[in-house]
Structure 1
């Protein structure tokens, strides 16, 4: 009996120390991310692999130069990236051929890949020129959230679409998001404040966010997905509801479109670097009162997902940081 009591006391002490250490770590990391300075610094130029000449690096604060930018985060995607980029660029070229006013760019953000992702990305720059395809190299792995943030901050589009490197969502579905954004923009201009109703404004000037959604596929997904992904999904939905509230059923679909005005507000404030940055986007949209639209998209699960059981601790960690950061006022939102 004495031995059991000693073991219980030891476990209790260990659990207390662990809980205190974890709480201290959350507080420390939240304070460390009070400012966005911990993020990767922006490179001053892109490099044109054809001429080896530097190309000026745009910023989200600059006026738009293209109609749409597609941001593709990539980490060790040398096998899945070529197919996704072929489909994407074929679609964009066909659309540009039909509509001479349609201009585009694809920004590939290599998040510290250690395989041939960089080579694949620059192959597409060579094929389509640096005017249409650009590559940002982060040097080391920072996480999907940071890769998306970097791509958003250095894109030239009036509309900015993030999409995954696996091609799980049909790129042509961007028209669904695009059409809804234009519809909401018309309403904002008609019924909104004097700034939004200014007829001289471009679509890039009206802050709107459109979220691709797989919620309509949930029943089928439950039957076909691996058990741990279903567990992650259900548990994550509960945590998201507690952290960011309701409004968007599928926060994690990697197919989202923002107007330039919305991206400027959101991605200059984003602090989460990995899987939970989508939830922070929803939270910030609500804070800025940016209209959010959720639109069903065609989605197919592609083998090779980076989400696994080890993602759970990271998700919980980031959600804890976000909840403490914003609710305590440590994380300021800059307008």
Structure 2
């Protein structure tokens, strides 16, 4: 069947216009991604070359305490880094539980020294006021508050806390207390398993004290995981949330590759040597910095282990539909930034 010439004449311009619009849209999206990659790369280069002028405030003496650097020698056994954005209601209960546990361990183990770093990510409520009350009670040597001034994102808050920590081991955990602090010991045991197999030309370690001496030379990342709870969660969640979860896992697999099933659990432990490499390289500031950590561990040859932890859903989640869109955008940035060589990995 032949189309009338007049009909073809009217359709051809339409398809040309449609194709032109699609091409313009594609080029615009490509330009958007490339510009985002360029800006993130430039900002990261400036951060690496600039000195830090951050400090902790001591409400007991009204003095400013200079922030240490991840490149300094460790002064504590453990640093807890807690990102907090508008957490005035959930933070106090979590801190009471954490500090009770830490004090109990410190009382029975003279080598167990700790610090808690609360990173206020530009909160607009009374989060900083709540945090400083704990500084007053437990003193600035044990509890510190880092104020970022404006909201940057969870990834940036954790990065800042890690880069200004003093621990030989560094634990990131959420301000809601969804994961029990006692599960730290599960992650610690994996660190010591690495220490036990570490070959340094010396005699085998005979005690935990001997193993602790090896920690400065060990690179390891231990990821808390809720994967064992997935079947129960699938049975109770709405179908569309399960669909989104499966889709997100697939995109993560494409962006970072296999290795860690639950990248988004906010309970992760790093040796100081591993944290030094990871958090001086990390670029993403919000939701998918966890996925970038997995990518960096693989390319920096930092061993990763996934450990099941106890987890309870706490009301007050800040994930919205727009957050999911932003996650997908960041996953594409990871793939393009590193895949095209625009983002360099420093060793």
If the TM-score is normalised by the length of the shorter chain, which range does it land in?
A: over 0.9
* Equivalent residue for 1:25, pick from 32, 42, 50: 32
Q: Is contact 1:159-1:204 (8 Å) kept?
A: no
Match of 1:90 in 2: 100
* Higher relative contact order (CA closer than 8 Å, sequence separation 6+): 1
Match of 1:333 in 2: 345
* Equivalent residue for 1:313, pick from 299, 322, 325: 325
Match of 2:128 in 1: 118
Stretch of structure 1 that moved more, 231-240 or 156-165: 231-240
Structure 1 residues 127 and 300: alpha-carbon distance in aligned structure 2, compared to 1, 3 A threshold: same
* Superposed counterparts of 1:10-21, under 5 Å: 12-21=19-28
**Structure 1 residue 306: Cα displacement:** 1.2
Partner secondary structure for residue 202 of structure 1: helix
Under a length normalisation based on structure 2, what TM-score does the superposition of the two structures give?
0.89
Question: How many residues were matched structurally?
Answer: 331
User: Alpha carbon RMSD of aligned pairs, Å?
Assistant: 2.3
Q: Is contact 2:84-2:119 (8 Å) kept?
A: yes
**Structure 1 residue 303: Cα displacement:** 1.0
In the alignment, does 2:156 pair up with 1:146? Answer: yes
* Equivalent residue for 2:224, pick from 212, 232, 238: 212
Structure 1 residues 5 and 110: alpha-carbon distance in aligned structure 2, compared to 1, 3 A threshold: farther
In the alignment, does 2:290 pair up with 1:283? Answer: no
Structure 1 residues 4 and 170: alpha-carbon distance in aligned structure 2, compared to 1, 3 A threshold: farther
In the alignment, does 2:251 pair up with 1:244? Answer: no
- Rounded to whole Å, the distance in 1 between the matches of 2:303 and 2:81 is 21
In the alignment, does 2:82 pair up with 1:75? Answer: no
For the pair shown, which has the larger CA radius of gyration, 1 or 2? Answer: 2
Under a length normalisation based on structure 1, what TM-score does the superposition of the two structures give?
0.92
**Structure 1 residue 120: Cα displacement:** 0.9
Structure 1 residues 98 and 23: alpha-carbon distance in aligned structure 2, compared to 1, 3 A threshold: same
- Rounded to whole Å, the distance in 1 between the matches of 2:238 and 2:46 is 35
- Rounded to whole Å, the distance in 2 between the matches of 1:62 and 1:161 is 17
Partner secondary structure for residue 135 of structure 1: strand
- Rounded to whole Å, the distance in 2 between the matches of 1:4 and 1:116 is 62
Structure 1 residues 179 and 20: alpha-carbon distance in aligned structure 2, compared to 1, 3 A threshold: same
Match of 1:300 in 2: 312
* Equivalent residue for 1:322, pick from 321, 334, 345: 334
Match of 1:54 in 2: 64
Partner secondary structure for residue 280 of structure 1: helix
Structure 1 gaps of 5+ residues are none
